[in-house]
Amino acid sequence: MGGPRAGKVLVLGVLVAFGLGSSAEVRAGEPPVHASPSAAPAPVAAPLVFSPHDIAFVDALTWGANASTMARFHALGVEGWLKEQLHPARDTLPAEAQRQIEALEISRRSAPQLVTEFRDRDAALKNLPSPEEKGAAQKVYQADMTARAREAATAAILRALYAPDQLRERMVWFWLNHFNVHQAKGNLRLLMADYQDNAIRPHALGKFRDLLAATLRHPAMLRYLDNAENAAGRINENYAREIMELHTLGVGSGYSQKDVEELARILTGVGIAGPNIPRVKPGQEALLIRDGLFEFNPARHDFGDKVLLGRTIEGQGFAEVEEALDILSRAPATARHVSRDIAIYFVADNPPEALVQRMADTFQKSDGDIAAVLATMIRSPEFEASLGKRFKDPVRYVFSAVRLAYDDRVILNTQPVQNWLNRLGEGLYNHETPDGYPLVSTAWTASGQMTARFEIARQIGSGAAGLFKPAEEGAVEQPAFPLLQNSLYFSGLSARLSPATRLALAQAISPQDWNTLFLSSPDFMQ
């Protein structure tokens, strides 16, 4: 693993020719140099220069290397930067990005408030006197729910593009996909923001057991996989099956249909809180749990003993669920299944078994510490060998293009980004089945995908994508043109290009043409 200063050479002449030297100085954390007519000219510090390895390293662990992230990498060094990414203390955004998120409705009202409001609206529109009025009100109702999901996507995109804790944001997307829910079911559009920000993000680099429990207690998951209807005498196995098949143990790990049935019985009574407190039998009042929109209702629970993976769980209420989560999250099969998925996401479609086993060993020794598992992967020779070779899925492709094009200049409209992700087949919250989007690169290399990427590269490269036109009616688009031939390009990115890409770029007839060719080149795709 090379240091950020490794291979540093002075390319001042090139940077001065493009007027890019001074911005690199400031971003490196050095104090800005103020011109003074009476003072002697300030010494010109050498601009930052990065090796192709350093750029590939940062690119692999973020949503895309850009000048400001590379400057932070330079300032902290490899170990310092990696420590900050694995154990981020900050959860801060640039002021403009934070302002946009705070202005959203989802930031002003909690998930329980939104659910209550829409429940009341739904009841009211059913009482409207005419079908025409009902139809019109229903359209507004649906549009408002869709708007809340778009706001959730806006917040997710702004965090992905501008959050300093980039590795955490990569893992937020990974876990959202691992614990996938689809926004189109029921009222899930109201819950997406809360699901990603309060169930997923706080645990994205923490303990897997906590993450699993947070998703289990969230109404988005309970509604999506039907556990809200799972009750004694009316068993619904859907969620129990997906927990074992997708979230923890994995297919072929040795669990049986009987284990699925037993877990479903354990999960009876785990559901969503309604407006009224449920009636329970005398003596079971203490077992009732209501926490926000989460509810465990003992009146709907199967109190018989169960046997899960060979271990007897005594019927006792929600404590059974806690015991089952302990068993599932600490099973060796879960360690391997989760580690393998992480390795696929970051390293290769078929990650080496030796790497997966080392990550799984760390998973078990650390009691499912996700940051520790990532550290084992990042420090491995297999990860080192994969740098610069992992083909980008659509989300990573789009985010990395926007990050490189505009660096820390905050976009004012995320709708073009949402549209691009939908067009490329990986829209946020749009995967219908619980298995999430494919992690393997072969799922994203068809000719239609490449054609769409070229068109998106053209839109970003021409500066006419609408990213700086606020969504408000009558808003005027702010001038913006991406400078892809920027300080990062000349200080290291260009060294990664293949001869074929260099030849193609040399044929560009305009800056827009050059940008398009660069963003659609094979070198930028990985």
DSSP characters over 63-117: S---HHHHHHHHHHHHHHHHHHHHS-------HHHHHHHHTSHHHHS-HHHHHHH
3-state secondary structure 267-307: CCCEEECCCCCCCCCCCCHHHCEEECCEEECHHHCCCCCEE
Given a cut of 70, whether residue 25 has pLDDT beyond it is no
Cα-to-chain-centroid distance, residue 364: 24
Q: How much helix, strand and coil, in percent to the nearest 5, is found in the chain?
A: 55, 5, 40
What DSSP designation does 311 have?
Answer: E
pLDDT of residue 43: 57
Q: Hey, which residues does 201 pair with through a beta bridge? A: none
**Helices of type H across 311-446:** 318-329, 332-346, 353-365, 370-378, 381-386, 394-406, 415-423
Phi, psi (5° rounding) for residue 408?
-95, 10
Least confident piece of the model among 14-28, 274-288, 492-506 = 14-28
pLDDT of residue 22: 31
Please give the span between the terminal C-alpha atoms of the chain, in angstroms, as a whole number.
19
What DSSP designation does 308 have?
Answer: E
pLDDT in tens, 160-201: 999 999 999 999 999 999 999 999 999 999 999 999 999 999
CA–CA gap between residue 230 and residue 245 (Å, rounded): 18
CB within 8 Å of 213: residues ≥ 6 apart = 322, 325
pLDDT of residue 34: 35
pLDDT of residue 69: 96
Amino acid type, 101: I
Given a cut of 50, whether residue 452 has pLDDT beyond it is yes
pLDDT of residue 40: 55
Given a cut of 60, whether residue 2 has pLDDT beyond it is no
pLDDT of residue 46: 65
Q: What is the mean pLDDT of residues 280-294?
A: 96
CB within 8 Å of 514: residues ≥ 6 apart = 461, 484, 485, 505, 508
What DSSP designation does 166 have?
Answer: H
Whether residue 171 contacts residue 204, with contact meaning beta carbons closer than 8 Å, is answered with: yes
The pTM assigned to this predicted structure is 0.90
Residue owning tokens 């490189």: 404
CA–CA gap between residue 330 and residue 333 (Å, rounded): 8
pLDDT of residue 475: 84
Mean residue pLDDT across the chain: 90
- Give the confidence band of 42 by pLDDT, cuts at 50, 70, 90: low
pLDDT of residue 114: 97
Amino acid type, 43: P
Whether residue 279 contacts residue 328, with contact meaning beta carbons closer than 8 Å, is answered with: no
pLDDT in tens, 124-171: 988 888 888 889 999 999 999 999 999 999 999 999 999 999 999 999
pLDDT of residue 45: 61
Q: Hey, which residues does 272 pair with through a beta bridge? A: 294
Given a cut of 50, whether residue 16 has pLDDT beyond it is no
Residue owning tokens 């990065």: 50
Q: To 5 degrees, how large is the angle CA 107–CA 419–CA 59?
A: 80
Q: Characterize the bridge pairing of strands 289-291 and 294-296.
A: antiparallel
CA–CA gap between residue 294 and residue 228 (Å, rounded): 10
Whether residue 339 contacts residue 328, with contact meaning beta carbons closer than 8 Å, is answered with: no
pLDDT in tens, 240-264: 999 999 999 999 999 999 999 999 9
Q: Hey, which residues does 312 pair with through a beta bridge? A: 307
CA–CA gap between residue 108 and residue 105 (Å, rounded): 5
Whether residue 374 contacts residue 86, with contact meaning beta carbons closer than 8 Å, is answered with: yes
pLDDT in tens, 459-497: 999 988 899 998 888 888 888 899 888 888 988 899 989
Whether residue 377 contacts residue 342, with contact meaning beta carbons closer than 8 Å, is answered with: yes
Token couple for 317: 């209420």
CA–CA gap between residue 237 and residue 263 (Å, rounded): 8
pLDDT of residue 53: 93
DSSP 349-380: SS--HHHHHHHHHHHHHTTSBHHHHHHHHHTS
- Give the confidence band of 4 by pLDDT, cuts at 50, 70, 90: very low
Q: What is the mean pLDDT of residues 267-283?
A: 95
pLDDT of residue 474: 82
pLDDT of residue 106: 97
The percent of residues above 90 in pLDDT, for the chain, comes to 82
Amino acid type, 323: E
User: 350: buried, middle or exposed (CB in 10 Å: 19+, 13-18, 0-12)?
Assistant: exposed
Least confident piece of the model among 14-28, 35-49, 429-443, 449-463 = 14-28
CA–CA gap between residue 113 and residue 10 (Å, rounded): 57
Amino acid type, 164: P
Element (H, E) at 258: helix 257-266
Taking alpha carbons only, the member of 317, 392, 308, 382 closest to residue 350 is 382
CA–CA gap between residue 133 and residue 131 (Å, rounded): 5
